[in-house]
Chains A and B, each alone.
Chain A
Amino acid sequence: MANEKKTSAGLVAAAWIVVSLPLAWGIYNTVLGAAKLFTPLHQSAPAQVRTP
């Protein structure tokens, strides 16, 4: 079609970045927390417990 206005690839990329950044931050925080599962027993003293 002659009057077809294509969405720019930059706009699509920007939209994905807008939603990916907070998600990446959330995943990063979750991975940090999840890593504690693999902390050796002697390093996981109760004093490390963080109250939300």
Chain B
Amino acid sequence: MATLSFLDRSRSIAHPGFNRWLVPPAALAVHLSIGQVYAFSVFKNPLLALHSADGSQWNLEEVGAIFSIAIVILGLSAALFGKWLEREGPRKAMFAAACCFGIGFQIAAAGASTHQLWLIYLGYGVIGGVGLGLGYISPVSTLIKWFPDRPGLATGLAIMGFGGGAMIGSPLGTHLMAFFKAAGDAAIPSAWITMGILYFIFMMFGVFTIRVPAGGWKPAGWTPPARQSAMITSHNVDVSGAMGTPQFYLLWLVLALNVTAGIGILEQASPMIQDLFHGQVTAVAAAGFVGVLSLFNMAGRFIWASCSDYLGRKPTYMIFFALGMVLYFLLPYTGTQHMDSVVLFVLIAGILISMYGGGFATIPAYLRDMYGPYNVSAIHGRLLTAWSVAGIVGPLIVNGILDHYNAMHIPREQAYPLILHIMAGLLVIGFVANVLVRPVSQRFWMKEQPTGAVPAGR
């Protein structure tokens, strides 16, 4: 359709003199929106309280599946549509993401209104999940091409938005439900319809603002360094080639293990602090702890990814794994039975979660260093399946051990040393995988230098 031709890659090429600092806000508009998925828990209790015409209600497991479906579809759609995104450009992909995310809310609202869970699964989980996956990867390669001098900073800014999105989505959902309830409307359907419209409009700001650099563009006054680390390639590997390299699977493991360990804390944050500091930390204070972790998660995404431009990607992950191992080992000993220090517990958990967020934000730049900027969004998309797997494995480890201790009538606080020491052990494997990452063999390099691809430096 001619009316949609403005979405074409050719129509989004920046004019000479375009300021590249307009691109991070475009990326942030998308990531701040889709980050709402991490605030989905605010709808859990209201959904559990809904009744169908025959008086039946949904259980926790059924409602919990909405979030799980969305995250699994995020990983799958990022892997499936990455190549399409590289071909069609970020504007079309962002538009598709905005449509899917916005429409997903509308279908889910119909499901909540008619008490049909399958409609919520289809709307928020599947269609919204495709919006999440497309939206997550759509600005990555564009940012890397605009910021060849600071790829970590650029992708860190965008992916920080995903962490920040939860902070917006949580109060937005809560306030909207309270508003519609007070007005005598159905709280969840009305809130979801409104959120779908608001997020669509906000994401469209990103669609209209995003630009791709013209072929051969580079920042004014910047020249690629003549000599740079062997860990930063000046060639390109396409997504099919990247899948044939051992580096892809090592980095997949690096991301999966870093995320699994982080989920070990995030999954159980509120009960963990209450169990380890029994009688000292109330449920209200524990909710505050979850807020503190959100702040560390968001800040870590920007700070660690930006630092990786100077430290190098491999050393940054070395820090995540080495420091993480020590801190996960120490964390259970901060409880009342040992050091009895809430401050130390919060500080250590905060640093660990900053490295969890930092792992997400640094991986696109690591992929760029390994494979060049040409297909980095598509490769990133495939790598995000590690997130889906970690999202299943992490809670399985935590809940499996806690269930076992409950069944054996052993106090829950005694389970945490085992859980957290398993996480420390996973980081040892991650450390080894990261050590094994070497420059990609030249047999995988693309024969022709693609248009618009510029070598990057630190």
Contact = CB atoms under 8 A, between A and B. Distances in A.
Given A30-B167, A49-B283, A52-B45, A15 B22 contact: yes
Interface of A is mostly: helix
A7 B285 CA distance: 47
B67 to A, nearest CB: 14
A37 B45 CA distance: 22
Interface residues of B, number: 49
Given A4-B16, A38-B288, A49-B283, A25 B171 contact: yes
Nearest to B49: A51
A19 B29 contact: yes
Contacts of A3: 16
Interface residues of A, number: 35
A21 to B, nearest CB: 10
Interface string B12-39: 0001111101100110110010000000
B168 A44 contact: no
B18 A44 contact: no
Contacts of A27: 164, 167, 295, 298
Interface of B: 15-19, 21-22, 25-26, 28-29, 32, 41-46, 161, 164-171, 173-174, 202, 205, 209, 280-292, 294-295, 298, 346
B177 to A, nearest CB: 8
Contact of A31 (B169, B205, B286, B291): B291
Interface string A17-52: 011001101110111011111110100101011011
A52 B42 contact: yes
A41 B282 contact: yes
22 contacts: A5-B17, A7-B17, A11-B22, A16-B21, A18-B29, A18-B205, A23-B168, A26-B164, A26-B171, A27-B164, A31-B291, A34-B289, A34-B291, A36-B285, A36-B288, A36-B291, A37-B285, A37-B289, A44-B284, A48-B284, A52-B41, A52-B44
